[in-house]
A and B are shown apart, each in its own frame.
Chain A
């Protein structure tokens, strides 16, 4: 089933009776060439790229709940590639380039909107750090613009410029950054993968691995045993829980991150704005809701809901930078369990178990990485070697002291 303007028109005239489900509801086969555990954005993208570019089609994605119920459907939809470090920048730039072509690639409207991501700065030191980051981005061929206070005021006149403690001195702008409709990413990849023959198996929880002579043979699931030659795990906040079944201990803690949305308002915020002096960022969805968030709750958590101190903290941050936010009514808030790694950067690597591969440690920022993560994980699973842009995302970087720590926080996952 192809999507086009013509098709929408035709269905509109026929009472929308011609649409079919986006993907087949598959039942597990006995054996697959590649199994992907986790039907979030990363797992689905991996399966799609494996089928499309690596000639493998005997693939299944196992999802314990339903497609889109994890962090891929809970995030605040921001995409950007404004990283500083060599290990990160080319990878996130690859992702942004893949986002730019995703709708044609998948024939699905993911509502990619490059409305710009603006990071505000409030002190001389912060300005220097942002300039350095902007320069690093440009040296990697990524767009970055430095805005002075006047230019920021033109773009976002509603911000609090006169705050004596945290005046806005300017901002680092990445115009190619923006937002993407998160659910559509999961659905689009699932649909496109399914069309290439990938089995998407929902309500199928992986509960164990069969490892014989150091080689993974099969998974035990809530729907029985499924054999596979290679298994890729991409379960985000549940990484430690799933990998424990294969005796793989990870440099990861699970934490809860909250997000908030207000009632729908008329167009107000031009892009994504982040507050440099408090933990707060905001954008406006196409439906008009102001979507915002801030810090992690800060302690290990597998509860997909947060606590009140962070609600207060985020709202204080919002009021401090954008006082008119106080007039908007909050519609909903929710949380998601995120896989915080020890240096704040992801891991895409083989494990000590033969045939078992891991993709995780995405922290609060893995949505923007979805296409590139799938791209490089598919490469790793198909060719058994790291993709060049992800060659730094290895397990051994911790022992080697080669951390990719954008924030310079050290091994404190809750502070990244």
Chain B
């Protein structure tokens, strides 16, 4: 590379953007699965399970993502395992996202009115049946806008994975800049690209929220 910004540079940035999307999806799916377990654990009938999951959430939420990424990358290396930046970043983001989604979803599950639980209980449904057939379908509707909103945070936060050498959009920008020394132009391109990925999600989240606001009566018993 070198010289002026050309199509190759743009292709390289585009590839970085794809990895940003890829890492975001890994974080969302991995964090979603673990986060779902966390949400259920936070409202478990077992006190020890509630406590353990609460400690996990507090630990993660009290630690900067940058530190979690370093711990993931160098920590795993310290115990003798060689992991790629993708695996380290994916695992760290999964743990991070899980703590936040777990809390968001716990709140959504608990915001389903208590009489819904009781009505289901009165019909002799088991705890699992009550959760799966009565509570979760209602909680998912409540959870959709904040979850979509949180996806914006995930996309932006993947930029931190550049510190462990994962070549996503941010890191590819740094690499291009190292050869071109046109920081303003390059970071402007990167900013616009992040915006183009995040803004539609933000809009979508707001739209969902407005729609939910109108249909609030759908969720609360009269």
- Chain A complexes with chain B: no
Binding site for A on B (CB under 8 A): none
Binding site for B on A (CB under 8 A): none
